[in-house]
């Protein structure tokens, strides 16, 4: 595995973008999302790595139709879930490792697959990473942000969880739960070379704590978060229960024990016709 680039040498990296897109049963919006991503990255050398965790609808078929039209802009990895809870974190990690192995991207972007994150904000986040920070978070909890089409109860739970996480991890970050993130190649390599323990959505907090421990420059910018209008939430009560315990374990590594090196290999070459791992 390669050694991470020093943060002050990133201007030498190639200018391209790798979007990491975990999906599960998103047939209602996946075509629109891929089209809007490409529209807003029209001036970029960009690829979207779609990671499907076993969709039971037409999501994979629709992604393959789009890939046939723009094969250089979309890559597909198909996985099988190993637990009943959400494995969004594991999907993101698989996409990150693929991006490091198969692209020379200087910017990586994490997005949700249900149109909660607005592709119109892609240029702003990319510009921040190329300009003044190593990690840029589209934050729901700073001045100028909006949350729409989301029930009040879910908004309150999300806010309270964020306050709790800030109290045990770091007050430097306001939004630990929004998965709309932008980061440079050195930040991606930090994660690839660190032992990541969580495949659930708590992966988002674990990754942020790794960046905090390594001194990465983290910025937040206002976003408009659009609540899920269709489809079914992938988050289960079991995810929330496990997350509550995991937060303190992550805090222990951040503040006391430190992070171990990864023993997980970078993915093998993939078959271009199916996107499946060899």
Check which CATH number belongs to the domain holding 113 and give it: 3.90.550.10
- For residue 276, being part of any structural domain is answered with no
Query: For residue 186, what pLDDT is reported?
Result: 98
Within-domain flag for 45: yes
- Measured CA to CA in angstroms, residue 245 lies from 27, 155, 240 at distances of 33, 21, 9
Check: CB of residue 105 under 8 Å from CB of residue 49.
no
Neighbouring CB atoms inside 10 A of 105's CB total 24
Within-domain flag for 155:
yes
Instruction: Give the pLDDT score at 83.
Output: 76
Alpha carbons within 13 angstroms on the beta-carbon side of residue 225 total 26
Q: Is 265 inside a domain boundary?
A: no
Tokens of 53: 């965790």
Q: Which distant-in-sequence residues (6+ apart) come within 8 Å of 264 by Cβ?
A: 97, 195, 196
**Average per-residue pLDDT in the chain?**
88
Is residue 134 situated within a structural domain?
Answer: yes
In the chain, the number of structural domains is: 1
Q: Which domain holds residue 128?
A: 13-257
Higher pLDDT, 115 or 236: 115
Q: How far apart are alpha carbons 278 and 270 in whole angstroms?
A: 6
Q: Tell me the pLDDT tens digit for each residue of 196-244.
A: 999 988 999 999 999 999 999 999 999 999 987 544 455 566 667 777 8
d(CA 79, CA 233): 19
Q: How many residues does the chain have?
A: 278
Tell me if 248 is assigned to some domain.
yes
pLDDT of residue 264: 62
Q: Would you give the distance in Å from CA 69 to the centre of its chain?
A: 25
Cα–Cα distances in angstroms (integers) from residue 145 to residues 13, 36, 51, 194, in the given order: 31, 21, 28, 32
User: Are the CB atoms for 40 and 123 separated by under 8 Å?
Assistant: yes
In a domain, 2, yes or no: no
Beta-strand ranges (E) seen in 41-91 are: 46-52, 74-78
SS3 175: coil
Provide the pLDDT confidence category of residue 30 given band limits of 50, 70 and 90.
very high
Helix (H) or strand (E) holding 240: helix 237-252
Question: Which one is predicted more confidently, 276 or 122?
Answer: 122
151: pLDDT confidence band, cut at 50, 70 and 90?
Answer: confident
pLDDT at position 276: 31
Residue 273 within a domain: no
Mean pLDDT across 143-168: 89
């Amino acid at each position: 595995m390669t050694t991470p680039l020093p943060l002050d040498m990133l201007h030498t990296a190639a200018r391209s973008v790798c979007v990491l897109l975990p999906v599960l049963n998103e047939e209602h919006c996946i075509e629109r999302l891929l089209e809007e991503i490409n529209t807003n990255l029209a001036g970029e050398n960009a690829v979207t790595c779609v990671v499907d965790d076993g969709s039971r609808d037409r999501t994979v078929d629709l992604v393959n139709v789009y890939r046939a039209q723009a094969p250089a802009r979309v890559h597909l990895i198909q996985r099988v879930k190993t637990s009943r809870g959400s494995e969004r974190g594991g999907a993101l990690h698989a996409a990150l490792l693929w991006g490091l192995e198969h692209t020379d991207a200087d910017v990586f972007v994490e997005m949700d697959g249900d149109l909660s994150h607005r592709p119109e904000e892609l240029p702003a986040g990319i510009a921040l990473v190329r300009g003044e920070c190593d990690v840029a978070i589209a934050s729901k909890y700073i001045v100028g942000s909006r949350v729409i089409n989301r029930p009040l109860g879910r908004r309150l739970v999300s806010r309270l969880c964020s306050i709790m996480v800030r109290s045990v991890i770091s007050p430097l970050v306001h939004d630990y739960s929004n998965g709309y993130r932008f980061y440079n190649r050195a930040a991606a390599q930090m994660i690839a070379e660190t032992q990541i323990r969580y495949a659930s959505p708590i992966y988002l907090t674990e990754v942020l704590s790794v960046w905090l421990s390594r001194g990465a420059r983290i910025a937040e910018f206002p976003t408009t978060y659009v609540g899920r209008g269709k489809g079914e939430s992938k988050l289960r009560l079991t995810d929330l229960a496990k997350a509550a315990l995991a937060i303190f374990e992550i805090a222990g590594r951040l503040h006391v024990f430190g992070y171990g090196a990864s023993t997980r290999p970078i993915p093998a070459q993939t078959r271009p016709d199916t996107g499946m791992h060899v």
